């Protein structure tokens, strides 16, 4: 990897981190039970998943972890819990890893859907409710149910948006290569 492509990758990762922070901490709807956030409706996972798919599992994990830590520093929502930094990193890692294991080159809709479904099931439906239960006593079945309902909407929506973005990026890369002086 030359310096130009490394700088470009770091720049893209930084933009996705900022987008994650905005979508997670500012542009999401949060519903609290007691003093703890129980339901969050938003698109904060989209930049993590997209970054992982576009640049690899390591980049997705870095985007997720750094986005969570910096986001906490900017707009804390309760005490810092490294558990959620882990789930944020895994949100970027798992879909990219699933696609890598599938050894697919042109991501078809169902392949992206499957990869995102695996990642969101592990992180949003299993790990986050488990951690909320252990740390704050939020009933596991309640949080898992609400997370499953939220992800039933988010997973196809994330898939559609990522498929569109990947198509646009491939088109723009082809155009810039074609007209490069």
The ranges of the chain with pLDDT < 50 are: 174-181
- The predicted structure's pLDDT at residue 152: 93
- The predicted structure's pLDDT at residue 176: 45
- The predicted structure's pLDDT at residue 91: 97
Describe the crossing of helices 57-74 and 45-55 by its angle, rounded to 10 degrees.
150
Domains and CATH numbers, the chain: 3-178 (1.10.1760.20)
Secondary-structure percent of the chain, ordered helix, strand, coil, rounded to 5:
80, 5, 15
Partner residues linked to 33 by β-bridges: 36
DSSP 8-state symbol, 180:
-
- Residues 6 or more apart whose Cβ sits within 8 Å of residue 32: 38
Nearest-angstrom CA–CA distance, 174 and 10: 21
Nearest-angstrom CA–CA distance, 145 and 139: 10
Q: Is the dihedral of CA 13, 78, 141, 152 positive or negative?
A: negative
Buried b (16+ CB within 10 A) or exposed e, 72-96: beeeeeeeeeeebbbbbbbbbbbbb
- The predicted structure's pLDDT at residue 181: 42
Nearest-angstrom CA–CA distance, 177 and 163: 21
- The predicted structure's pLDDT at residue 38: 59
């Amino acid at each position: 990897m030359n310096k130009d492509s490394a700088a470009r990758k770091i720049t893209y990762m930084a933009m996705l981190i900022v987008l994650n922070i905005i979508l997670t901490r500012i542009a999401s709807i949060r519903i609290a039970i007691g003093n703890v956030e129980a339901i969050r409706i938003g698109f904060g996972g989209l930049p993590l998943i997209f970054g992982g798919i576009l640049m690899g599992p390591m980049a997705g994990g870095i985007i997720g972890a750094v986005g969570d830590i910096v986001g906490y520093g900017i707009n804390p929502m309760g005490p810092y819990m490294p558990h959620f930094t882990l789930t944020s990193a895994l949100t970027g890692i798992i879909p990219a890893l699933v696609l890598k294991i599938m050894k697919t080159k042109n991501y078809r809709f169902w392949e992206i859907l499957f990869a995102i479904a695996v990642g969101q099931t592990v992180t949003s439906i299993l790990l986050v409710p488990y951690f909320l239960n252990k740390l704050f006593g939020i009933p596991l079945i309640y949080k898992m149910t609400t997370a499953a309902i939220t992800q039933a909407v988010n997973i196809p929506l994330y898939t559609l948006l990522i498929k569109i973005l990947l198509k646009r990026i491939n088109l723009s890369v082809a155009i810039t290569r074609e007209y490069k002086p």
